[in-house]
Chains A and B, each alone.
Chain A
Amino acid sequence: MSDIVEKTLTALPGLFLQNQSVGGPAGVKTSFSSRLGGLVRGITALTSKHEEEKLIQQELSNLKATVSAPTTTLRMMKECMVRLIYCEMLGYDASFGYIHAIKLAQQGNLLEKRVGYLAVSLFLHENHELLLLLVNTVVKDLQSTNLVEVCMALTIVSQIFPREMIPAVLPLIEDKLQHSKEIIRRKAVLALYKFHLIAPNQVQHIHIKFRKALCDRDVGVMAASLHIYFRMIKENSSGYKDLTGSFVTILKQVVGGKLPVDFNYHSVPAPWIQIQLLRILGLLGKDDQRTSELMYDVLDESLRRAELNHNVTYAILFECVHTVYSIYPKSELLEKAAKCIGKFVLSPKINLKYLGLKALTYVIQQDPTLALQHQMTIIECLDHPDPIIKRETLELLYRITNAQNITVIVQKMLEYLHQSKEEYIIVNLVGKIADILVLNTVDTYAPDNAWFIQTMNAVFSVGGDVMHPDIPNNFMRLLAEGFDDETEDQQLRLYAVQSYLTLLDVENVFYPQKFLQVMSWVLGEYYYLLDKDTPEEVLTKLYKLLMNDSVSSETKAWLIAAVTKLTSQAHSSNIVERLIQEFTISLDTCMRQHAFELKHLRENVELMKSLLPVDKSCEDMVVDASLSFLDGFVAEELSQGAAPYKPHHQRQEEKLSQEKVLNFEPYGLSFSSSGFTGRQSPAGISLGSDISGNSAETGMKETNSLKLEGIKKLWGKEGYLPKKEGKTGDETEALPVPQESIIMENVDQAVTKKDQCQVLTQSKEEKEKQLLASSLFVGLGSESTINLLGKADTVSHKFRRKPKVKETKSGETTSAHSMTCSYFSSSSNATYEDDYYLDALQDRGDKELNKFSLNSELLDSESLTELPSVEKLSNCKLSSSPSLFTDNNMEGFHPSQSTAPSVAPETSLASSLLEETSEHMHSELVEVCHNETISVSSYKIWKDDCLFIVWSVSNKSGLELKSANLEIAPAENFKVRQ
Chain B
Amino acid sequence: MQFMLLFSRQGKLRLQKWYVPLSDKEKKKITRELVQTVLARKPKMCSFLEWRDLKIVYKRYASLYFCCAIEDQDNELITLEIIHRYVELLDKYFGSVCELDIIFNFEKAYFILDEFLLGGEVQETSKKNVLKAIEQADLLQENSPSIVLNYCR
A residues lining the B interface (CB < 8 Å): 1-2, 4-6, 8-10, 12-13, 15-16, 20, 22-25, 27-29, 31-32, 36-37, 40, 82, 85-86, 89-91, 93, 109-111, 114-115, 118, 121-122, 125-127, 145-148, 151, 155, 158-159, 183, 186-187, 190, 193-194, 197, 219-220, 223-224, 227, 260, 262-263, 265, 270-273, 275, 311-312, 314-315, 318-319, 350-351, 353-355, 385-386, 388-389, 391, 424
Which B residues touch A388, using CB under 8 A? Answer: 45-46, 48-50
Give the residues in chain A near B22, CB-CB below 8 Å. 125
Chain B residues 3 to 47 lying within 8 A of chain A, measured CB to CB, are 12-19, 21-24, 28, 42, 44-47
Known: A85-B107, A118-B107. A273 touches B125 (CB 8 A): yes
**Cβ-defined partner of B125 (8 Å) among A37, A121, A223:** A223
The 0/1 profile, CB within 8 Å of A marked 1, for residues 47-69 of chain B is 11111100000000111100000
Cα–Cα, bound, A94→B122 (Å): 30
Residues of A within 8 A of B88 (CB): 1
Q: Is the CB of A89 within 8 A of B13?
A: yes
Cα separation A385 to B50 with both chains bound (whole Å) = 16
Main secondary structure of the interface of A (DSSP, over half): helix
A28 pairs with B108, CB closer than 8 A = yes
CA distance A155 to B111 in the complex (A): 10
Q: When the two chains form the complex, which single residue of A183, A355, A389 contacts B133, counting CB atoms closer than 8 Å?
A: A183
Q: Is the CB of B125 within 8 A of A125?
A: no
B125→A110 contact, CB < 8 A: no
Q: Given the complex, which residues of B lie within 8 Å of A40, measured CB to CB?
A: 103-104
- Report the minimum CB–CB distance from B55 to chain A (whole Å): 10
**Pairwise interchain contact A159-B119, C-beta atoms closer than 8 A:** yes
Q: Please, how many angstroms separate the alpha-carbon atoms of A219 and B42 in the complex?
A: 40
Q: Given A9-B98, A28-B94, does the pair A190, B118 have CB atoms closer than 8 Å?
A: yes
Q: How long is the Cα–Cα vector from A679 to B86 in the complex, in angstroms?
A: 66
Ordered by A's residue number, 19 sampled pairs between the chains whose C-beta atoms are within 8 Å are: A1-B87, A5-B87, A8-B96, A9-B61, A9-B62, A24-B95, A32-B104, A85-B107, A89-B14, A126-B21, A145-B149, A158-B119, A220-B123, A223-B122, A227-B121, A260-B126, A265-B85, A353-B46, A355-B76
Q: How far is the CB of B50 from chain A (nearest CB, A)?
A: 6
B13 touches A90 (CB 8 A): yes
Alpha-carbon gap, A224 to B117, bound state (A): 11
Whether B145 and A82, one on each chain, are in contact in the complex, defined by CB atoms closer than 8 angstroms, is no
Asked if residues A190 and B119 are in contact (CB atoms below 8 Å), the reply is yes
Residues of B with C-beta under 8 A to A260: 126
Additional 13 contacts, C-beta under 8 A, given A24-B101, A25-B95, A263-B126 = A9-B61, A125-B21, A159-B19, A190-B123, A224-B123, A318-B75, A350-B45, A350-B47, A385-B42, A386-B42, A386-B44, A386-B45, A388-B45
* Cβ 8 A contact of A351, one of B15, B62, B80: B80
How distant is the Cα of A771 from the Cα of B142 in the complex, in angstroms? 71
Q: What is the CA–CA distance of A353 and B122 in the complex, to the nearest angstrom?
A: 26
Q: In the complex, what's the smallest C-beta–C-beta distance from B139 to chain A, in angstroms? A: 9
Please give the distance in Å from A99's CB to the nearest CB on chain B. Answer: 17
Known A5-B62, A148-B136; contact A127-B21, beta-carbon cutoff 8 A:
yes
Complex Cα spacing A350 to B24, Å: 35
| Inter-chain contacts of A29 with B (CB < 8 A) | 105
Given A118-B110, A126-B21, A351-B77, does the pair A110, B145 have CB atoms closer than 8 Å? yes
Pairs of residues from A and B, 4 with the lowest C-beta to C-beta distance, nearest first: A9-B62, A315-B77, A262-B126, A125-B21
Across-interface contacts of A16 in B (CB, < 8 A): 100
On whether A220 and B124 interact (CB within 8 A), knowing A111-B141, A391-B50, the answer reads yes
Contacts of A115 in B (CB 8 A): 107
Return the chain B residue nearest A152 by Cβ. B137
Which of B48, B61, B125, B145 is in CB contact (< 8 Å) with A272? B125
Closest to B24 in A: A93
- Residue among B44, B93, B121 with max Cβ neighbours from chain A (10 Å): B121
Question: Nearest Cβ distance between residue A361 and chain B, in whole angstroms?
Answer: 11
Question: Quick check: A151 and B137 within 8 Å, CB to CB?
Answer: yes
Looking at the assembled complex, report how far the CB atom of A393 sits from the nearest CB atom of chain B, in whole angstroms.
Answer: 12
Most A CB atoms within 10 A — which of B77, B81, B88, B148?
A: B77
Residue contact A6 to B61, C-beta cutoff 8 Å: yes
- In this complex, what residue of A is CB-closest to B108? A28
**A315 with B105: CB separation less than 8 A:** no
Q: Given A272-B78, A318-B77, A350-B46, does the pair A31, B106 have CB atoms closer than 8 Å?
A: no
Docked CA distance A548–B119 (Å) = 55
Residues A193 and B121 in contact in the complex (CB < 8 Å), given A5-B87, A23-B97, A118-B107: yes
Measured between beta carbons, the chain A residues less than 8 angstroms from B148 are 110, 146, 148
Check if B96 sits within 8 Å of A265, measured CB to CB.
Answer: no
Taking the nearest CB of chain A, how far is it from the CB of B34, in angstroms?
12
- Return chain A residues, CB-CB under 8 Å to B77: 311-312, 314-315, 318, 351, 355
Residue in B14, B91, B95, B104 whose beta carbon sits within 8 Å of that of A1 in the complex: B91
Report how far A219 CA is from B96 CA in the complex, Å: 29
Contacting residues, chain A, for B78 (C-beta < 8 A): 271-272, 275, 312, 315, 319
Expressed in whole angstroms, the minimum distance between the Cβ of B54 and any Cβ of chain A is 10
Compute how far the CA of A570 lies from the CA of B137 in the bound complex, rounded to whole angstroms.
Answer: 88
Residue of A nearest to B60 (CB): A6
- Contact check, B126 vs A2: say whether CB atoms are below 8 A apart: no
CB–CB A31/B141 < 8 A: yes
* Contact (Cβ within 8 A) B81 A265: yes
State which of B28, B91, B93 has its C-beta within 8 Å of the C-beta of A91.
Answer: B28
